Amino acid sequence: MEKLALSAIAYYYKSDQDICDDYELDSWVEDVVRNELAWQDEKPRCVPEKLTAIDQLIS
């Protein structure tokens, strides 16, 4: 399963800049942080509000 995830990420994202430029990913992360993780107390619980590197998708 990990190999599949890593290969999918590598297919779509060749650099950290690709992560920064992906507005759909950015919107999804913002939605998850605000509406799922931090909806009660506005604390994102160790999840960045914006992804800026491929490593953040893997970890």
* pLDDT mean values, one per 10 residues, the chain (59 residues): 89 95 91 71 68 86
d(CA 33, CA 44): 6
In this predicted structure, what is the pLDDT of residue 56?
Answer: 87
- Dihedral sign (CA 34, 37, 42, 47): negative
Look up the domain containing 45 and give its range: 2-58
In this predicted structure, what is the pLDDT of residue 40?
Answer: 66
Q: DSSP states of 16-53 as a string?
A: HHHHHH-HHHHHHHHHIIIIIISTTT---TT--SS--S
In this predicted structure, what is the pLDDT of residue 22?
Answer: 96
In this predicted structure, what is the pLDDT of residue 44?
Answer: 57
| pTM assigned to the model | 0.71
Number of domains in the chain: 1
